[in-house]
């Protein structure tokens, strides 16, 4: 099969007679390429601060690093792979040698997406790319169409969430490195699954980032962020590093899309925002297959997600929808602390607005933030929003990492899952959610020394304002992120899926996704915002226009009491009810507690 490679300006690139090595080091007095035998090869510098060298001194799969004038050795910041960890040698990789079996894959339309987020280390017993690959058929059979990997770029240590990456081009060696990641993507494509990658462009991790030693201009010390000086996106070599990184994952690894983490934390003073250049470069350069770009952004903005008149995104495709999660979480758990305070008044009404219009906060005042939040989203197509009941943040950012299964009544959870998986928005599930996983997903790292102490104490201080952890003694119960036991406790339990409760939930989820794939997904292209008829604080009816002049209806009673319902007149096709008794009650003008009825309204009496 065709080999897929990406020529980048940073780092090492193989040529027919050796390799070219480049590093932007404007603050360095000199840079040498150091081979794995300790020999030094002097690099030449141009006026822009780029040091380069063409040599055959480094064999394929050989180790190398860069050495500064004071003797400090640093890894290649654009390394395709590390020999072991972030402080060690980089490895010269030949990306041309990987043989793709499904290189003709062109992806799937976004309307078909059912996203499954997973952490490579916690998803399987082996905790690597091969472990993920071994379970792909399970995801396909469940009805998943898109696997989303939490960040895999090399970070310090062997375990961590991945959001502290420092070598953003190198798949983590603990997960298996670049060829193992390509095998995972290739196998997924052979099963008809898209693969999305979570990338972090708002900061580098605290351990293993050497950029400031030789490229202090990579950062702007006049602007500080929670992680230190802001990244200087207005400088061309810096922009190149990130724009090419996005293209690299999509072209060399054949990912079907990217999820850009916390873009609201990108402090960019550029004339052309870096996020816009990244999207424009991808849309311009990759036109022969489906590429989906999604964002996490707490601001509830839509300016980065414009769509053409015929429904195609021109920049980013969709945004993670915290409003949907927060309203649903308050409904099923009753929790009202922290940011949930914005959803304690009429959470069902807020959920209904989110389902119909995208966001529930579209410029309204947030009591939690003490300022207005969001902008109008009613003109966005349903596919511009990704909804979820659980994800890595909303589970792992809890002090004890509790799964929703341990926090709420199963009836409420299944009602909300029925809404999540059948509504026109794009649904996302978190690993293990399909069988009702009860193991926690905790915050874990692999730091050492003073940094480990700082992370442990900082983690516990985060919860000082939460009533349950106001007592300092209670905060000591929060698991140490650096303890191996914290990571091990976060691994999902595959045995649970064959337990009576796990099997029942798994069957429930498969049935819902079958209804989505056969009755809803084919009608989503060109669908529009919904309309809400709120009957009271917990009882609503939403209508979405779909393709073929059909309409999708949801009648919901999200309370513990019977509620009145008004079945519409006309030609209807029942799609799903929860619980099963809801169909009979609905015909009699009622909905049972936590009852739902989904149906199509057909045009012209079909």
* Residues catalogued as catalytic: 261, 296
Q: What are the angstrom distances between the C-alpha of 378 and each of 98, 205, 339, 528, 541?
A: 45, 37, 23, 9, 17
Closest CA to 21 of 29, 31, 30, 33: 33
Largest CA-CA distance found in the chain, in angstroms, rounded = 84
Q: How far apart are CA 272 and CA 251, in angstroms?
A: 24
Chain-centroid distance, C-alpha 334 = 26
The residue assigned the tokens 């529009």 is 528
DSSP letters, 271-340, are SS-HHHHHHHHHHHH--SS--EEEE--TT---TT--B-TTS-BSS--EEE-HHHHHHHHHHHH---SGGG
Instruction: Enumerate residues 6+ apart whose C-beta is below 8 A from 459.
Output: 443, 478, 481
Q: How far apart are CA 143 and CA 520, in angstroms?
A: 13
Question: What is the four-CA torsion angle of 87, 93, 99, 100, rounded to 10 degrees?
Answer: 50
- For residue 55, report the phi and psi dihedrals to the nearest 5 degrees: -155, 160
330: which 2 tokens?
Answer: 């308050």
The residue assigned the tokens 């993670």 is 320
Q: How far apart are CA 9 and CA 177, in angstroms?
A: 21
6: which 2 tokens?
Answer: 């990406």
With H, G, I as helix, E, B as strand and everything else as coil, classify residue 561. Answer: coil
């Amino acid at each position: 099969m065709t080999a897929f490679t990406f020529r980048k300006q940073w780092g090492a690139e193989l040529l027919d007679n050796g390799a070219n090595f480049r590093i932007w080091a404007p603050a360095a007095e000199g840079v040498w390429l150091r081979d794995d035998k300790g020999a030094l090869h002097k690099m030449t510098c141009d006026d822009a601060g780029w040091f380069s060298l063409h040599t055959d001194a480094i064999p394929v799969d050989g180790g190398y690093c860069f050495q500064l004038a004071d003797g400090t050795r640093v890894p290649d910041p654009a390394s395709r792979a590390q020999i072991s960890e972030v402080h060690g040698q980089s490895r010269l990789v030949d990306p041309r040698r990987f043989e793709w079996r499904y290189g003709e894959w062109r992806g799937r339309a976004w309307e078909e997406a059912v996203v499954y987020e997973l952490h490579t280390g916690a998803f399987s017993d082996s905790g690597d790319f091969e472990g993920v690959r071994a379970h792909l058929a399970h995801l396909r059979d469940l009805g998943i169409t898109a696997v989303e990997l939490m960040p895999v770029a090399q970070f310090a240590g062997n375990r961590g969430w991945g959001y502290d990456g420092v070598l953003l081009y190198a798949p983590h060696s603990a997960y298996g490195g670049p060829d193992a990641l390509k095998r995972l993507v290739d196998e997924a494509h052979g099963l008809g699954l898209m693969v999305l990658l979570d990338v972090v462009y708002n900061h580098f991790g605290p351990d293993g980032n050497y950029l400031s030693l030789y490229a202090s201009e990579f950062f702007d010390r006049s602007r500080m962020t929670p992680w230190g000086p802001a990244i200087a996106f207005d400088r061309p070599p810096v922009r190149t590093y990130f724009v090419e990184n996005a293209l690299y994952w999509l072209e060399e690894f054949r990912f079907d899309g990217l999820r850009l983490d916390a873009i609201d934390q990108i402090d960019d003073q550029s004339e052309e925002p870096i996020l816009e250049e990244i999207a424009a470069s991808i849309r311009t350069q990759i036109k022969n297959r489906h590429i989906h770009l999604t964002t996490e952004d707490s601001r509830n903005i839509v300016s980065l997600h414009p769509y053409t008149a015929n429904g195609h995104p021109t920049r980013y495709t969709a945004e993670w929808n915290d409003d949907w999660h927060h309203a649903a979480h308050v409904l099923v758990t009753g929790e009202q602390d922290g940011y949930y305070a914005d959803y304690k008044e009429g959470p069902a009404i807020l959920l209904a607005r989110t389902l119909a219009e995208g966001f529930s906060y579209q410029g309204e005042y947030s009591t939690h933030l003490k300022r207005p939040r969001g902008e109008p989203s009613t003109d966005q197509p349903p596919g511009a929003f990704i909804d979820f009941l659980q994800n890595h943040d909303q589970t792992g950012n809890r002090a004890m990492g509790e799964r929703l299964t341990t926090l709420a009544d199963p009836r409420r959870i299944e009602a909300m899952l029925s809404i999540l998986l059948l509504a026109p928005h794009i649904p996302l599930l978190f690993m293990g959610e399909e069988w009702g996983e009860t193991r926690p997903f905790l915050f874990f790292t692999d730091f050492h020394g003073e940094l480990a102490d700082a992370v442990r104490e900082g983690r516990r201080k985060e919860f000082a304002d939460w009533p349950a952890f106001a007592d300092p003694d209670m905060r000591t119960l929060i698991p140490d992120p650096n303890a191996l036991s914290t990571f091990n406790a976060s691994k999902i339990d595959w045995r649970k899926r064959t337990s009576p409760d796990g099997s029942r939930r798994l069957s429930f989820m498969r049935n819902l996704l079958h209804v989505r794939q056969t009755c809803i997904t084919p009608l989503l292209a060109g669908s529009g915002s919904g309309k809400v008829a709120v009957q009271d604080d917990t009882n609503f009816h939403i209508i979405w226009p779909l393709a073929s002049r059909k309409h999708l209806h949801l009648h919901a009673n999200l309370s513990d009491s019977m509620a009145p319902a008004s079945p519409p007149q006309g030609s209807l096709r029942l799609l799903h009810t929860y619980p099963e008794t809801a169909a009979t009650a609905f015909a009699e003008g009622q909905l049972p507690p936590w009852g739902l009825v989904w149906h199509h309204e057909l045009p012209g009496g079909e």
